[in-house]
A = this chain, B = another copy of it.
Amino acid sequence: MSTLFSGEEDIHCGVTVSSVNEPCSDMNEFTEKLKASLSNWEQNRRRAIWFKVNISQIQWIPVLAEHGFRIHNGVGDVITMVRWLPKEEVSRVPIYAHTMVGAGAVVLTSDGSKLLTVRERYRQLPYWKLPGGYVEPHEDIAEAAIREVLEETNIRTEFEGLVTFRHSLTAVFDCSDLYFIVSLKPLNFDIIKQNEEVEEVVWMDVSKFLNHPQVHDMNRKIVRKCLEDRKTGAKITKEVMSHPITGRPQAIYSVTRYPV
């Protein structure tokens, strides 16, 4: 049996050990192997050392903490701990994600007279809102809005443009929150309330929505903005490009010129 963890090297001179790939028979073995590996990694000038600890090997965590590791993140069944080895340099390990991302939609009929609006269940006050919700892992923002609209209302839509977004610095789970509002073009009009989170869905006269006492000012402002943008042609559009290094697709949002 090896006396050192092998782990996987990364391009930043770091090493990642996964507890399920390199289990230990007892905590003595783990502790000895950890100590020997750390001095080996230090000699070899490794930088960030990562341990991905499965919940079934949770007893590794306090030992790692004693050896200078800190919790980096916890997702699914895995807690990830990290230690930055270089003593002459401050840690260059970015902290984990701390921003919740959501997407909502303004869905207007082509003549701009009616707006798709929902009333949520489980709320103290029965406000009329724009359909929307959290973006899922690895999900595109526009796709998230399209999915939420379909789930909540049965209306299929296509992306027209980004209207606005909001950045709140204090939100749920002590995170920040980004909420993107996209403009979506409806492809059908037959509402079926499918989602049990939603109390009611209607195509509401825009003028009624803009004057309804149970509509938040922010949503009023957003719908007004969307109507104004329709007139002026202002739009934040989305273009899909390849990432310069990884080559993976990514969405780029920016203002297109007004057709004034």
Contact = CB atoms under 8 A, between A and B. Distances in A.
Given A62-B56, A169-B140, A218-B244, A97 B94 contact: no
B61 A176 contact: no
A202 interface: no
Interface stretch (A37-45, A152-160, A247-255): A247-255
Interface stretch (A28-36, A98-106, A110-118, A204-212): A98-106
Nearest to A245: B216
A92 interface: yes
Contacts of A248: 168-170
A70 B216 CA distance: 35
A198 interface: no
Chain A interface, >50% SS class: mixed
Contacts of A12: 122
A75 interface: yes
A137 B62 contact: no
A229 B255 contact: yes
Interface stretch (A1-9, A18-26, A186-194, A235-243): A235-243
Given A97-B97, A101-B176, A135-B99, A71 B71 contact: no
Interface of A: 12, 55-56, 58-59, 61-62, 65, 70-80, 89, 92, 94-101, 122, 134-135, 137-141, 163-170, 172-176, 178, 196-197, 216-218, 225, 229, 232, 234-236, 241, 243-246, 248-255, 257-258, 260
18 contacts: A55-B61, A58-B58, A71-B74, A71-B78, A71-B79, A96-B97, A97-B99, A97-B100, A97-B173, A98-B137, A101-B178, A166-B251, A166-B253, A167-B253, A168-B248, A168-B250, A216-B244, A234-B257
